[in-house]
Amino acid sequence: MSEQQLAKAYQPRDVEAKWYPRWEERGYFRGRSDSDRPSYAIVIPPPNVTGVLTLGHVLNNTLQDILVRQARMRGHEVCWVPGTDHAGIATQARVEAYILETEGLTRHDLGREKFLEKVWDWRRQYGGRIIRQLRRLGATCDWQRERFTLDPGLSAAVQEVFIRLYEKGLIYRGHRIINWCPKSCTALSDEEVVYREEQGSLWHFRYPLSNDQGHVAVATTRPETMLGDTAVAVHPDDVRYQRLIGQTVRLPLTERVIPIVADTHVDPSFGSGAVKVTPAHDPNDYEIGRRHNLPMLNVMHDDGRMNHAAGAEFENMDRFECRAAVVEMMQELGLLAKTERHVHQVGYSERGHVPVEPRLSNQWFVSMRTLAEPALGAVADGRIRFHPDRWVKTYRHWMENIRDWCISRQLWWGHRIPAYYCQRCNHIEVSRQTPGMCPKCNGSEFHQDRDVLDTWFSSWLWPFSVFGWPEDSPELEKFYPTDALVTGPDIIFFWVARMIMAGLEFVGDIPFRDVYFTSIIRDEKGRKLSKSLNNSPDPLEVIDTYGADALRFTIIYIAPLGQDIRYSNEKCEIGRNFANKIWNAARFRLHHGESTPDWAHLDGLAGDNLRSDDQWILGRYSETVAAATESLACFHFHEFAHAVYEFVWNEFCDWYLESAKAILNSGEAVGRSLTLRIFDYVMAGLLRLLHPVMPFVTEELYHALGFCNKDESIMYSEWPLPLSEDCRERLGIDRQVILQVRDKFAMIRAVRNIKAAYQIPVGRKLKVLIRPKGPEEESFLREDPVSLEFLLYASEVEIDQEISPQGPAGTAVTSLGAAYLPLAGVIDIEAEKERLSKQHGQICERIKSVQKKLANQKFVGNAPSSVVERERERLHEFQDRRRRLLEQIQSLENHDG
Q: Tell how strand 274-277 and strand 231-234 pair up.
A: antiparallel
pLDDT band at 678 (very low <50, low <70, confident <90, very high): very high
Strand stretches in 45-170, DSSP E:
77-81, 83-84, 147-148
Query: Mean pLDDT, the chain, as a whole number?
Result: 93
Ramachandran sector of residue 757 (left: φ over 0; alpha: ψ -120 to 50; beta: rest) = alpha
Half-sphere exposure of 138 (CA within 13 A, CB side): 32
More confident residue, 763 or 368: 368
pLDDT confidence of residue 3: 55
User: Does the structure show a pLDDT above 60 at 4?
Assistant: no
* Whether the model pTM is above 0.95: no
Please state the φ and ψ torsions of residue 824, each to the nearest 5 degrees. -60, 130
Residue 254 near residue 230, CB atoms below 8 Å: no
Confidence bin at 350 (pLDDT 50/70/90): confident
Average the pLDDT over 660-675 and give the result. 90
User: Do β-strands 419-422 and 446-448 pair in parallel, antiparallel, or remain unpaired?
Assistant: antiparallel
Long-range contacts of range 800-805, CB-CB < 8 Å, 24 or more positions apart? 800/769, 800/770, 800/771, 800/772, 801/771, 801/772, 801/774, 801/775, 802/771, 803/769, 803/770, 803/771, 804/769, 804/771, 805/769, 805/895
CB-count exposure of residue 348 (10 Å: 0-12, 13-18, 19+): middle
Residues 655-667 have pLDDT tens digits of 999 999 999 988 7
The H or E element spanning position 159 is helix 152-167
Contacts of 369 (CB under 8 A, 6+ apart): 402
pLDDT in tens, 508-518: 999 999 999 99
What stretch of H or E contains 362? Answer: strand 357-366
Cβ within 8 Å of residue 721, ≥6 positions away: 625
Predicted pLDDT at 351 = 77
CA distances from 670 to 633, 673, 674, 679 (A): 40, 5, 6, 14
Spatial contact of 119 and 110, defined as CB atoms under 8 Å apart: no
The CA–CA distances, whole Å, from 293 to 192, 231, 285, 860 equal 30, 11, 12, 64
Check residue 897 and give its pLDDT: 44
pLDDT digits (tens, 9 = 90+) for 446-464: 999 999 999 999 999 999 9
Q: What whole-number distance in Å separates Cα of residue 217 and Cα of residue 214?
A: 10
Angle in degrees, CA 584, 586, 589, rounded to 5: 115
Over residues 532-544, the mean pLDDT reads: 87
Q: 649: which residues sit within 8 A by CB, 6+ positions away?
A: 578, 581
The number of residues in the chain equals: 897
Whether the pLDDT of residue 694 is over 90: the answer is yes
% of the chain residues with pLDDT over 70? 99
Query: At a CB cut-off of 8 Å and minimum separation 6, what does 139 contact?
Result: 61, 64, 65, 80, 82
Question: What is the model's pLDDT at position 670?
Answer: 86
Is residue 565 packed enough to be buried (19+ CB in 10 Å), middle (13-18) or exposed (0-12)? buried
Torsion sign over Cα 334, 337, 342, 348: negative
Task: For residue 257, give the H/E element and its range.
Answer: strand 257-262
Whole-number Å distance between alpha carbons of 453 and 159: 10
pLDDT at 533 over 80: no
Give the CB-side neighbour count of residue 542, counting CA atoms within 13 A: 27
pLDDT for 672 equals 93
Percent of the chain whose pLDDT exceeds 90: 78
pLDDT, average across residues 208-216:
94
Q: CA distances (Å), 891 to each of 361, 758, 832, in order?
A: 87, 12, 11
